Amino acid sequence: MGLQGIRHTPEICTMHSPEVATPVWRIATLFPYQGAWSEQEYLALETNRRVEFDDGFVEVHDAPTDQHQAIILYLSIALNEFALQTGGVVRTAGLRLRLWDRKYREPDIVLLRNRDSSLRQENFWDGADLAIEVVSQSLEDRERDLVTKRAEYERVGIQEYWIVDSEQETVTVLSLSGDVYSEGDLFGRGDIVKSPLLPELALPVAEILDAN
């Protein structure tokens, strides 16, 4: 039989073929190295993950849990209803908060009592009256929310910082006294959260923790 009647299947070269489940490492080369990010490059980054920025380094955080998001939704709705009546504005994670040059955070919730405040920018806010963090369960995340961010928010003069800890079933309200946070009010499951910053607001801790 002549070769003309034979259908040849071309050999597939696997030398450069990607393997299933292998990370696409080359994508990383499209971005700056850690420590070399500029503010402009960070602000231009589009992602559905929570990414914060610290002096050239980006911090990529784990995706939130369902309970975490439910608590944020409950609080954001309650605070937004309050803000609409009092001239304020509320935003949730995804909005970047510039603490100082080359330092950005993405709090779970931020509030300004004046919706026309000059601190409110299109791509980020330059400050807030209230920041809220819902504590994640990893030791690293707990340290960040309970210690690191407390010091950072205190440093830049955020008037009030709420820490919602579903593991401990508490809400801590820290208020500035001069330029430092007071020891704070600790509210448990049977309590009503009261805020010196927003004295008309009253939120049952149980409703916050049991948001679904």
Domain edges within the chain: 66-209
Model pTM score: 0.81
pLDDT tens-digit readout, 139-151:
999 999 999 999 9
Q: What is the pLDDT of residues 85-96, one digit of tens each?
A: 999 999 999 899
Q: What is the pLDDT of residues 57-80, one digit of tens each?
A: 878 878 889 999 999 999 999 999
Residue 3's φ and ψ, nearest 5 degrees, are -70, -20
List pLDDT tens digits, range 5-54.
444 444 444 445 556 666 656 666 667 777 777 777 777 777 767 788 77
Model confidence pLDDT, tens digit, residues 197-209: 999 999 999 999 9
- How would you label 69-99 residue by residue, b for 16+ Cβ within 10 Å and e otherwise? bbbbebbbebbbebbeeeebbbbbbebbbbb
Contact 39, 53 (CB under 8 A): yes
**66-209 fold:** tt1808, chain A (3.90.1570)
Q: Are 179 and 159 in contact (CB under 8 A)?
A: no
